Amino acid sequence: MRHHGISGRSIRRHLSSVRGFLAYLFTHKIISSNCALDLQSPKINQNLPKILDYEQIVILATPRSQLVKELRDVAIIEVIYSCGLRVSELVSLDINSIDNIQGFLQVMGKGSKMRNTPFGKPAQRAIANYLQKININQGQGALFLNNKQQRISVRSVQEMIKKRALEIGIKVGVYPHMLRHAAATHFLQSSHDLRSVQDFLGHESIKSTQVYTHLDFLELSKVYDKFHPRAKK
């Protein structure tokens, strides 16, 4: 299968079927030994996450009108990027999740674990502009609403970001997690502090965060190739 260019992930699926089948035959004494026990699975090449450039995010988050929907969409993009949120975390935000005094959002992460994450001035301004337009009192209900004044769905956020990116000329399919990846990568490039990025993203294991060190290295390689006088020797 390797010689035919089949991926390691597909080979693993086939091996899983073979192991299960032979285990069944061995359990029912149809075969005397299970030769699949010592089969080693191939390594899977790690797919690095796709990210957006900072300039692309700035354009994506630039308001084109003062309509409620536009201000909401801008606030959504700013909050995802500023706080590195998963889209499920974003849609679960309530108005009382905001602490403007301390500059934090209270976020419900995976496994129902709560964390406080800082969010910057652009995100704070975007939320304030949006809330002022819809005239909601502090402490009431969902933060981001749809046209029916209900909590916005994950699907709606995904479609909005994809459509908005296409409108400004970003050809690749953009999805909310790309903003989270960009936030983590840009944070790491600036701080070089992997542990802080782990806390920022709400990762249980540092292994989940280490993928961004690869992105940071790739970015360094690009800069080297472009600017270092020895790069073209």
User: Among all chains, which residue has been given the structure tokens 């029916």?
Assistant: 148
Per the residue annotation, which of 12, 50, 69, 177 is the catalytic one? Answer: 177
If you count them, how many residues does the chain have?
Answer: 233
195 is catalytic: no
C-alpha pair distances (Å), 132 with each of 40, 58, 71, 207: 59, 22, 10, 41
Please indicate whether residue 4 is annotated as part of the active site: no
- In the set 72, 86, 164, 181, the catalytic residue is 86
One of 72, 164, 180, 186 is an active-site residue; which one? Answer: 180
212 a catalytic residue: yes
Residue for token digits 């403007």?
A: 100
| Whether residue 192 lies in the annotated active site | no
Q: Which positions are annotated as active-site residues? A: 86, 110, 177, 180, 203, 212
